[in-house]
Structure 1
Amino acid sequence: MKEEEVLKQRTSLLRQPKAVWAVAFACVISFMGIGLVDPILPAIASQLHASPSQVSLLFTSYLLVTGFVMFFTGFISSRIGAKWTLLVGLIFIIVFSALGGTSSTINELIGFRGGWGIGNALFISTALSVIVGVSVGGSAKAIILYEAALGLGISVGPLLGGELGTISWRGPFFGVAVLMLIALLAITFMLPPMQKPQKKVKFFEAVGALKYKGLLTMASAAFLYNFGFFVLLAYSPFVLHLDEHGLGYVFFGWGLFLAVTSVFSAPVIHRKLGTLTSLVVLFASFAVILFGIGVWTSHVVVVICGIIIAGGILGMINTVLTTAVMGSAPVERSIASSSYSAVRFIGGAIAPWIAGVLAESYTASTPYYVGAAVVLLGMIILLLGRKHLVNIQAGH
């Protein structure tokens, strides 16, 4: 009987309307943008005569703009509709990724990545609510699909960046523009018109949602966790000393493990341990891995193994956090998602630049030690705020 239930759940997860797969495909391409530049960071630094901390601003501008704009995507989406918000976001990504490929200075490239972040914010925060709205099988399965797209995009991004980067560091930027154009056409023709919500979202509604202690606790923990996430993602290419192909394969393995655990392992650990306990265990595990990489930073094999194992931990954290945050405040899911995602991305934005500065000022291991400490602080925030999480601790 249990096997029949599992088979039924897997079938309903995969048997989705074409519109869901169109949006999921676009999500994969969108999330490619996060890890796309990883394998080409050293090449960009060399050819545009930039330091590691300057190059890390490619992540900072992208994530910072994404985070702040996410606070207001609900306001925009409630006025022009979800489908048009997705399409406008895709257009921004297409234009600014293509412009990024034409950059002649590091400052130009940083600016174009910021413009890319506007499109990313409009698309990502709206995509989750659209997938939840048009999928079948319940919101939990829709979130798993979304996180799977995130993991697949993050894993394929470095692989694509590594392959195209061997031709030129400009190649990955033009590649994303082409793929996003395909995604734009898919959503245009496969996603049916969606009715605008009757209630218009206020301009600062997503910001105001942080007054609810449960959402604020989850967002604060995600802010700190994402700091460690992007120390690992944005800084590690500089300590591995691999070429574009090598970096692409390492982070492909990292992202693939992230995608697999987000779909298959996260629901199991969430169900068995509940939200709070599973997050505490996973946060602690991630902090230990970061600390271990810091201890053995000069051992490339250890760093590579640590990165890939961390991917599995991060996949589970992402899914558990995203599922839990939907019930953390008495507001609409789209508002909770925008508010949480905004804070989460801002946490990721400051990490790459700080990691670069720490490495230049102290040692190559310092960013990992700081990242581990910050992730542990996120775990402490969860424990201190556990009384505000009583409605989501059951893991349902």
Structure 2
Amino acid sequence: MDRRSEPNRSAIYATTLVAFLAIAGIAVVDPILPAIGEAIGVTAWQVELLFTAYIAVMAVGMIPATLASGRFGFKPVLITGVSVVGVAAILASFSNDIVQLSVLRGVWGLGNAMFFATAMVVLVNLANDREWVVGLFETALGLGFAVGPLIGGLLGEVSWRLPFFVCGVFMVLALAVASRKLREPAHKQPPVRLGAIFSTYRKPAFVTLCVVTAAYNFVFFVVLGYTPLYLHLDVIPLGLAFTGWGLGLAAGILLIGHRLAHRIGAVQTVGVAIAGLLVCMVLFATSTGTAMSLVVLVLAGLFMGLANANLTDLALGLGSSDRRVATGAFNLVRWGAAAPAPIISGKLAEHGLALPFWVGFGVLAVGVLVYLAFAHVMAAGYGERVLWSRWNSAARRNEHAPEEPVGEAY
């Protein structure tokens, strides 16, 4: 299909830009974490509050955002979420202490929860070519993680406040376009019941997936939240380092993750990803220098991309038939498990710089053991076998589902 024939291209591109900025807004903090700590005089665990506040509020906010979209419609929730992010980012640039910054990062997380609970449903409704718009969204998310640290590094060299301010201004500009063009889905979906979300946890295969994902996501934010302090690099080199990590993540999602799942299955691909990441935790903890740590960082990003490309596919296949319910239940666990990781890492670092990585190794090892014991349960529920298989039709069925790219981001 000719992309020029899409009647809502401006709204699609505006919403995709907002998605890029939302993800870049997470990663933009990485290279400026040490600078923020030095500028306002706080310890490692205190500066990690910027991540923990964001993640914790986003975890709690996903379910109310899903419920609100069923009651008030997708567009009002999305517009409100983007507005909240823009205002919070701009105000964060004027903050003077860690409490103000942490509160505003929490508000930022709430806005992102509202956006990601609704964005893909709106985009799929706008586009005639669903595969194209989902691919566009996936690309925007991958680029957000790749470019966000670079933006943070370059702007952070001027001032740690500038990345926050610029991100907020761009969100406001994208909002101006999106608010004029977006429209509600033609077929109104029934409201989501809170009980339906929690009833999903009664399914053994879904619970197994949640345990594995919880362990994985804890380690994800050990790497994302603590490594900037561990590397002891200046702002621009740190931004470039995490750009490398983001490119590894994007490659894992966009180039390898789905292709590998089509050949060996989504369950097996997740197993490869968490095993590889487990090795990366050991390499981080035993690193002999900055160069080795940087190589491991990029490699960790690649394995994270493999996991992120398939975890939401599995959640959609193993959870409720209502995708909003499945993603709501899954995101609560995913973000809830991630929230304490940065602040715990900061406290552990006071007793040893490698200790956060060893604890991350221990947490992920539990996830690996659960995976080894119960992978067959997930595979059976998803139409796979826990064997190396040549092709997997179940993974292809959930490919390009509206909720899939949102999960791939994290």
TM-score when normalising by structure 1: 0.90
Partner residue in 2 for 1:371 = 360
Whole-angstrom distance in 2 between the partners of 1:196 and 1:354: 45
Post-superposition CA distance 1:307-331 (Å, at most 9, x none): 1111111112101112221111233
Give the alignment partner of residue 350 of structure 2, picking from 360, 367, 370: 360
Whole-angstrom distance in 2 between the partners of 1:374 and 1:16: 48
Give 1:377-388 correspondences, 5 Å limit.
377-386=366-375, 387-388=377-378
Partner residue in 2 for 1:257 = 248
Whole-angstrom distance in 2 between the partners of 1:118 and 1:350: 17
Give the alignment partner of residue 78 of structure 1, picking from 53, 66, 70: 70
Partner residue in 2 for 1:290 = 281
Partner residue in 1 for 2:39 = 47
Matched, 1:158 2:153: no
Give the alignment partner of residue 227 of structure 1, picking from 213, 218, 230: 218
Whole-angstrom distance in 1 between the partners of 2:207 and 2:65: 19
Give the alignment partner of residue 120 of structure 1, picking from 112, 119, 122: 112
Whole-angstrom distance in 2 between the partners of 1:75 and 1:196: 17
Q: Say which SS state the counterpart of residue 381 (structure 2) adopts.
A: coil
Give the aligned CA root-mean-square deviation in angstroms: 2.3
Residue 300 of structure 1, CA deviation:
0.2
Partner residue in 2 for 1:240 = 231
Whole-angstrom distance in 2 between the partners of 1:359 and 1:229: 17
Matched, 1:337 2:327: yes
Residue 21 of structure 1, CA deviation:
3.2
Per the alignment, do residues 60 and 316 of structure 1 end up closer, same or farther by CA in structure 2, a change over 3 Å counting? same
Whole-angstrom distance in 1 between the partners of 2:130 and 2:363: 34
Give the alignment partner of residue 318 of structure 1, picking from 305, 308, 326: 308
Post-superposition CA distance 1:50-71 (Å, at most 9, x none): 0000000100000000001112
Contact 2:267/2:378 (8 A) holds in 1: no
Give the alignment partner of residue 275 of structure 1, picking from 263, 266, 269: 266
Whole-angstrom distance in 2 between the partners of 1:220 and 1:23: 32
Matched, 1:216 2:207: yes
Residue 338 of structure 1, CA deviation:
2.1
Aligned-residue sequence identity (percent) comes to 32
Q: Say which SS state the counterpart of residue 327 (structure 1) adopts.
A: helix
Post-superposition CA distance 1:87-139 (Å, at most 9, x none): 11001101111111111111111111111111011111222333455455667
TM-score when normalising by structure 2: 0.87
Q: Any stretches of 5+ residues in structure 2 without a counterpart?
A: 385-391, 397-410
Post-superposition CA distance 1:140-168 (Å, at most 9, x none): x7655444322211121111111111111
Matched, 1:266 2:257: yes
Of stretches 182-191 and 168-177 in structure 1, the one that deviates more from structure 2 is 182-191
- Across the two proteins, how many residue pairs are aligned to each other? 383
Partner residue in 1 for 2:188 = 197
Q: Say which SS state the counterpart of residue 91 (structure 2) adopts.
A: helix
Whole-angstrom distance in 2 between the partners of 1:383 and 1:131: 37
Whole-angstrom distance in 1 between the partners of 2:8 and 2:258: 23
